[in-house]
């Protein structure tokens, strides 16, 4: 029985160290939470909100609720603006809000981050994020991407596009 314990322990360690999504590592989890907080700090600096959705904000986009992993979401446009359909875990009941993130240096869309807090006041509304029976407002902002995301621990994991058929 004593020999089984080291074997089981080795199997657990091997599984924990095997290649996986960076979103599943503790260090990247902390980095994602810090990045989401730093985004809020950047917004408090003023002048970063955008008034229209950028080109390329269509189809399937990466989205995540703060504290959860990246999920594919669908974008559609209607009379209320850009609507993001989110089907992943952790969608907030009210209050909550979504942030369409644009990298300021390259002017490229990065993803939608969903917060479980009161939405910002005075920011231009771009549309909404729908999850289940709830819709929360969608805002957009230009951010210093390198301050909130890194190659080792990206804010949004790459989407698996193999199952889009």
Does 52 map to a domain?
A: yes
Nearest 10 degrees: Cα torsion 123, 99, 109, 143? 70
Task: Identify the domain containing residue 81 by its residue range.
Answer: 29-148
pLDDT tens string 28-68: 878 888 888 888 888 887 668 999 998 889 999 999 999 99
Q: How many domains does the chain have?
A: 1
Does 15 map to a domain?
A: no
The bridge status of strand 81-85 relative to strand 108-115 is: unpaired
pTM above 0.85, yes or no: no
Burial tier of 132 (Cβ tally within 10 Å: 0-12, 13-18, 19+): exposed
Does 115 map to a domain?
A: yes
E strands in the chain: 59-65, 71-78, 81-85, 97-103, 108-115, 127-131, 134-143
Does 14 map to a domain?
A: no
Does 69 map to a domain?
A: yes
Model confidence at 138, pLDDT cuts 50, 70, 90, reads: very high
Does 136 map to a domain?
A: yes
Does 13 map to a domain?
A: no
pLDDT at 164 over 70: no
Does 84 map to a domain?
A: yes
Which of the 8 DSSP states describes residue 57? -
């Amino acid at each position: 029985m004593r020999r089984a314990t080291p074997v089981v322990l080795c199997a657990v360690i091997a599984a924990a160290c095997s290649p996986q999504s960076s979103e599943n590592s503790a260090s990247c989890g902390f980095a994602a939470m810090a990045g989401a907080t730093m985004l809020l700090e950047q917004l408090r600096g003023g002048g970063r909100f955008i008034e229209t959705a950028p080109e390329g904000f269509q189809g399937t986009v990466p989205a995540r609720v703060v504290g959860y992993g990246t999920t594919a979401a669908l974008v559609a446009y209607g009379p209320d603006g850009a609507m993001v359909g989110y089907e992943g875990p952790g969608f907030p009941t009210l209050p909550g809000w979504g942030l369409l993130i644009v990298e300021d240096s390259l002017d490229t869309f990065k993803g939608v981050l969903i917060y479980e807090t009161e939405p910002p006041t005075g920011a231009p509304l771009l549309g909404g994020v729908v999850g289940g029976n709830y819709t929360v407002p969608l805002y957009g902002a230009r951010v210093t991407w390198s301050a909130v995301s890194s190659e080792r621990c990206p804010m949004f994991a790459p989407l698996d596009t193999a199952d889009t058929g």
